[in-house]
Amino acid sequence: MNKEMQELTAWTIKTAKSAGANDCKVGINSQRDVEISYREQKPETIKEATTKQLMIQIFVDGRYSSQTTSDLRKDALKDFIGNAVKMTKLLAEDPFRTLPDPKYYEGRKEMDLGSVDPTYKKFTPEERHNIVKTIESTILEKGGDKVVTTTASSQDGHSESVTMTSNGFLGYTEDTFFVAGAEMTVQDEGDRRPNGYEYCVALNRKDMPSPVKIGESCVKRTLSLLGAKKIKTETLPIIIENRGVGRVFGGFLQAMTGRSIQQKQSFLADKKGKKVGSEHFTIVDDPFVKTGLGSRLFDNDGFAAKKRVMIDKGVLKDFYVDWYYSRKLEWEPTTGGPSNLIVPPGKRSVEEIMKELGRGVLITGFIGGNSNPTTGDASVGIIGQLFEGGKPVQAISEMNISDNHLKLWNKLVEVANDPYPYSSLRFPSMVFEDIVVSGL
């Protein structure tokens, strides 16, 4: 625990209560970030800074407000808090807005989530430069004369946060993170210059792929975009690559929150315990994954984290209901949002599945699109490959898929064996049948 941050947190609570707050929650975050990018074999950008922010939620006379500031001088904070309390008193009473019942703070697991890389402090500027230089040189070497330009970059950071409430919650988190990757532009026919990228993120350096692998992956992904064109509109099986599944699932997830349900903006509001997808649709929320990007011991309300099955073989088992909306809905709270989402992997690789399907579309990226949480209607542009005989035969562009989530997830016929490691959404590639792929 960072003592200085803890003391400032406690001082802020005391100051707020002296100013008239009945209750409050205070969080202080400190983060150091370093970013480097290279283009044309020299540094393009170097950026480094430390940021601090204080957040305070104020509960006074049944009223509520939330404030953040980066001005942590005590004199300035005192004025800031005093004004915040005064302002809060002007709002309407809201009987549902209170600090959580402390019973939900209890039962917090004591375990090391592996979120701090013990070698972080030894990470030198030279090592950072070498990582980026290696990614760039790999791209230039493997991409050959197709390369128009490439920018390789690295970002890393260390953050600490302390959260405290006036009704007994105290939480501390410390994380490190590492990001490395590149974007790359290649020359296609005419004025087309396909742009591809590869970025990986991990909390520990040892979980990152090598710079050479990142560079090679960037080249492979970008070159696969060459010669892309629109094909005719057709109903086909599609495979959504592991890293892209989360973007489609995001529209479903939005409708799983207590707020969406209470505000009548959820197509899932009456679906708990009901079938919302095929038997292959299983999602587990697991906050205890070692080095997981979404791992945590407590959530935003301070609730002790729990592993939960959210969707089991197509049946919706649970919602994300935070303390406030649980009171409005008169439901038992769960947790306000996802930690790590795990889909149990299947047995076959994407290549094996493509071989069996014969003809279809492998979706490797998306463009635009959105999802309506109230109705479940969704539509998104796609980038990828038409495959025939199990092999990619044509890159595709300017194409689109549309469906309603309640129909789409019932068309899920298989999940592959390749959960994506560089995200809190550890989804494998997924196979859907009978999807209208719009083009010509």
Partner 1 sequence: MKKITRRSFLKTTAKAAAVTIAAPVVLPEGWYGFASPAKTGYFESEFGITDSLCHKVLAQALARGGDYADLFFEHTISNYIMLEDGKVNRAYSDVALGVGIRTVKGDQVGYGFTQEMTEESMLNAAGIAATIANANATKPSSEFRWIVTKSYYPTDYNLVTAPLESKLPLVQSANEKCFSLSPLVSKVNATFHDQQKRILVVTSDGAKAEDLQPRNYIGVSVVAEKDGKREQSGWNFGGRRGFADYTQAAVDTVAKKAVAGAIVLFDAVQPPAGEMPVVLGSGITGVLLHEAIGHGMEADFNRKKQSTFATMIGKKVAEPFVTIVDDGTVPNLTGSINFDDEATPSQKTVLVEKGILKGYLHDKISAKYYKVKPTGNGRRQSYQHYVIPRMRNTYMEAGPATPEDVIKTAKNGIYVEDVSNGEVKIGEGDFAFYVSAGRMIENGKLTKPIKDINIMGNGPKMLANITMMGNDFAFFTGGGGACGKDGQAAPCSFGQPSCLVKSLTVGGRR
| Window 373-402: residues binding partner 1 (CB under 8 A) | 373-375, 377-381, 383, 397-402
Decide if residue 312 touches partner 1 (CB under 8 A). no
Decide if residue 209 touches partner 1 (CB under 8 A). no
Query: Closest approach of Cβ 67 to partner 1, in Å?
Result: 5
DSSP letter (8 states) at residue 72: -
CB-based contacts of 324: which residues, under 8 Å, 6+ apart? Answer: 96, 97, 258
Among 117, 241, 403, 414, binds partner 1 (CB under 8 A): 403
The closest of 260, 205, 242 to 362, measured between CA atoms, is 242
CB-based contacts of 394: which residues, under 8 Å, 6+ apart? Answer: 227, 228, 229, 231, 385, 386
Task: Tell me how far apart the terminal alpha carbons of the chain are, to the nearest angstrom.
Answer: 59
Decide if residue 313 touches partner 1 (CB under 8 A). no
Query: Closest approach of Cβ 91 to partner 1, in Å?
Result: 6
Residue type, 1: M
Decide if residue 74 touches partner 1 (CB under 8 A). no
Three-state DSSP class for residue 341: strand
Measure Cα distances from 264 to 271, 315, 324, 370 in Å.
Answer: 13, 21, 16, 19
Compute the radius of gyration of the chain from its Cα atoms.
Answer: 24
Query: Closest approach of Cβ 98 to partner 1, in Å?
Result: 12
Decide if residue 268 touches partner 1 (CB under 8 A). no
Per 3-state DSSP, what percentage of the chain is helix, strand, and coil (rounded to 5)? 25, 40, 35
- Lay out the site mask for partner 1 across 134-173 (x = CB under 8 A, - = otherwise): --------------xx-x-x-x-x----------------
Decide if residue 71 touches partner 1 (CB under 8 A). yes
Q: How many residues belong to the site for partner 1 (CB under 8 A)?
A: 87
Query: Closest approach of Cβ 174 to partner 1, in Å?
Result: 15
The label of the residue with tokens 């696969």 reads: 224
Q: Which is nearer to partner 1, 69 or 166 (CB)?
A: 69
Distance, in Å, from the CA atom of 184 to the CA atom of 60, rounded to the nearest integer, reads 53
Decide if residue 370 touches partner 1 (CB under 8 A). yes
Decide if residue 111 touches partner 1 (CB under 8 A). no
Q: Which is nearer to partner 1, 219 or 415 (CB)?
A: 219
Asked if residue 229 lies in contact with residue 188, where contact means CB atoms within 8 angstroms, the answer is: no
Decide if residue 265 touches partner 1 (CB under 8 A). yes
Among 179, 212, 304, 413, binds partner 1 (CB under 8 A): 179
Query: Closest approach of Cβ 173 to partner 1, in Å?
Result: 14
Which residues in the 33-62 window bind partner 1 by CB under 8 A? 35, 39, 42-52
